[in-house]
């Protein structure tokens, strides 16, 4: 690929695709040429200087194209398109976490069979170079534990909840939607599905363990309500993704957590993401940056492009370690679903857990195994992990208009 410009097929010209085009034109036009841009709705595009096509698969079959960038999203036709591009021996760069989380293994194998690269830095953490750090620089450090804020939408909502002492959760959600931080159906972000996909991708690169998103218990923020606002008096609420490699397997879970000033994520606000890696040889490392948006995400795509000929070292699959749900969590707050308090208390008793009733419909569990917490979720609207520094004896619910402590 030396001498002449590298020829690129760009699939998608939306929030991310447009910025990929702009960044390549502005900074790398001497080295790369985008020869074709696939879109779906030509009537939505008025630009006259862009080589648009509606024939997505033409990009995969064009013999002059060496690199395909896929930013259309979703499973189909992205899956078939990427497969075909790899079979045609094109390097593929994608931001598609959905596809990589579910079909990464198959697509990586296909890339390897065809002697090309499949790179997807933009699929996790927006602008944060987490996957290349795991592939190259941090490989030798031996990762033990990963903790992350890896969903910008929910971090934005929780930041606003913290700041807006008198705003209702409903108002904050509407504001997030109007700013483009939430889809019309917010489940993908608020139920932790987006985080499950990203965490499954991280698990592969950090530990070589194939994990499917659904194997990771995710405790939802969907029913966060004004009744939970009082928690912000004791710390800052964050929606944390967790992985820990133990001798028994891989612990993986997604849970809202209350963190206090000493936590490295205390000041990670709004749409920012952060990932902390605890390693055997170098202790703790934190990466933080914008986790979404056109330009930050396009940066990761262009970074992949600049290193497209650099084969990442092969990840050794760990067939011994599997995801387990035995981890014991300390101090977890649960708010019962309407009319389910009795059932929640009964279930807590059945499992022999030590708990304290807080107000009429909330419980704080002293400790709880992850698998049991997942069962208790049937009766609870919200589960939040509390820091040890917050003594459960002192927790008192107060009306949501109580001003938050920042
Ligand atoms: N937005 C972010 O902040 C962000 C962050 C990280 C990762 N990502 C990932 O990046 C990818 C793209 O996201 P986005 O926000 O840029 O999406 P988007 O704004 O909805 O853009 C999607 C683009 O793909 C085109 N497209 C859709 N189906 C197509 C088809 N069958 N053939 C040809 N073109 C097709 C659309 O064409 P039309 O314009 O003609 O409709 C549009 O230009 C997704 O995988 C997403 O998860 C996004």
The percent of residues in the chain predicted with pLDDT above 90, rounded, is 80
> Does one domain contain both 113 and 142?
no
> Does one domain contain both 21 and 150?
no
Residue where a domain terminates, one of 89, 119, 149:
119
Whether residue 77 is preceded by a cis peptide bond, meaning omega within 30 degrees of 0, is yes
According to the model, what pLDDT value does residue 394 have?
67
Return all residues near 17 (Cβ < 8 A) that are at least 6 apart: 10, 11, 37, 69, 71, 72
Query: Mind telling me the catalytic residues?
Result: 198
Residue where a domain terminates, one of 267, 291, 315:
291
- Per DSSP, 4 falls in state S
Confidence of residue 207 (pLDDT cuts 50, 70, 90): very high
Mean of pLDDT values over 344-364: 93
- The residue whose two tokens read 């020829």 is 7
Q: Around Cβ 346, how many Cβ atoms within 10 Å?
A: 11
According to the model, what pLDDT value does residue 284 have?
97
**Is the residue at 132 inside a domain?**
no
CATH of the domain at 69: 3.40.50.720
Q: What is the dihedral of CA 270, 275, 276, 282, to 10 degrees?
A: -140
- The residue whose two tokens read 């913290």 is 162
CA 83, 84, 90, 94 torsion: positive or negative?
negative
Burial of 42 (0-12, 13-18, 19+ CB in 10 A): exposed
**Is the residue at 299 inside a domain?**
no
Of 107-116, 251-260, 383-392, least confident by mean pLDDT is 383-392
Ranges of H-type helices in 47-137? 56-61, 78-87, 97-113, 130-132
Token code pair at residue 122: 């933009």
Check if the beta carbon of residue 152 is closer than 8 Å to that of residue 124: no
> Does one domain contain both 79 and 179?
no
Q: What total of structural domains would you count in the chain? A: 3
pLDDT > 60? residue 196: yes
Distance of CA 383 from the midpoint of ligand 1 (Å)? 33
Q: Considering only CA atoms, which residue is closest to atom 29 of ligand 1?
A: 40
- The residue whose two tokens read 């330009």 is 295
> Does one domain contain both 171 and 100?
no
The finding on whether 118 has its CB within 6 A of some atom of ligand 1 is no
**Is the residue at 206 inside a domain?**
yes
**How many Å separate Cα 315 from the centre of its chain?**
21
CATH of the domain at 383: 3.30.70.120
Mean of pLDDT values over 93-100: 97
Confidence of residue 185 (pLDDT cuts 50, 70, 90): confident
Token code pair at residue 306: 């600049």
The finding on whether 183 has its CB within 6 A of some atom of ligand 1 is no
Distance of CA 17 from the midpoint of ligand 1 (Å)? 7
Ranges of H-type helices in 271-340? 294-306
pTM of the model: 0.95
> Does one domain contain both 356 and 238?
no
> Does one domain contain both 266 and 151?
yes
Q: What is the extent of the structural domain holding 80?
A: 6-119
According to the model, what pLDDT value does residue 383 have?
97
Cα diameter, the chain: 73
């Amino acid at each position: 690929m030396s001498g002449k410009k590298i020829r690129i097929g760009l699939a998608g010209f939306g929030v991310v695709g447009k910025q990929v085009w702009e960044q390549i034109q502005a900074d790398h036009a001497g080295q790369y040429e985008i020869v074709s841009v696939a879109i779906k709705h030509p009537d939505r595009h008025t630009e006259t200087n862009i080589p648009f096509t509606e024939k997505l698969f033409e990009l995969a079959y064009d013999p002059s194209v060496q690199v395909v960038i896929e930013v259309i999203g979703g499973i189909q036709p992205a899956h078939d398109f990427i497969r075909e591009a790899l079979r045609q021996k094109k390097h593929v760069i994608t931001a598609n976490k959905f596809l990589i989380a579910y079909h990464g293994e198959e697509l990586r194998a296909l890339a390897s069979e065809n002697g090309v690269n499949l790179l997807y830095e933009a699929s996790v953490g927006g602008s944060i170079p987490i996957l290349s750090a795991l592939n190259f620089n941090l490989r030798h450090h031996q990762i033990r534990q990963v903790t992350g804020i890896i969903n910008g939408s929910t971090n934005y909502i929780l930041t606003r909840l913290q700041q807006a002492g008198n705003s209702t959760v409903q108002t904050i959600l509407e504001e997030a939607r109007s700013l483009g931080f939430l889809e019309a159906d917010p489940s993908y972000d608020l139920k932790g599905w987006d985080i499950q996909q990203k965490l499954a991708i991280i698990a592969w690169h950090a530990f070589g363990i194939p994990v499917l998103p659904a194997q990771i218990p995710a405790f939802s923020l969907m029913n966060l309500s004004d009744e939970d606002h009082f928690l912000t008096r004791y710390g800052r609420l964050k929606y944390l993704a967790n992985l820990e490699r133990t001798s028994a397997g891989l612990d993986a879970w997604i849970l809202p957590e209350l963190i206090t000033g000493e936590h490295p994520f205390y000041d990670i606000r709004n749409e920012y993401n952060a990932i902390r890696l605890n390693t055997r040889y170098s202790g703790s490392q934190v990466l933080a940056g914008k986790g979404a948006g056109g330009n930050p995400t396009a940066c990761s795509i262009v970074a992949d492009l600049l290193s497209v000929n650099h084969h990442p070292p092969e990840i050794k699959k760990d067939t011994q370690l599997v995801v387990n749900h035995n981890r014991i969590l300390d101090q977890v707050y649960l708010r019962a679903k309407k009319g389910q308090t009795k059932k929640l208390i009964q279930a807590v008793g059945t499992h022999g857990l030590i708990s304290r009733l807080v107000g009429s419909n909330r419980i704080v569990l002293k400790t709880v195994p992850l698998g049991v917490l997942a069962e208790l979720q049937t009766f609870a609207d919200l589960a939040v992990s509390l820091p040890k520094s917050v003594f459960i004896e002192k927790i008192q619910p107060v009306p949501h208009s109580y001003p938050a402590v920042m």
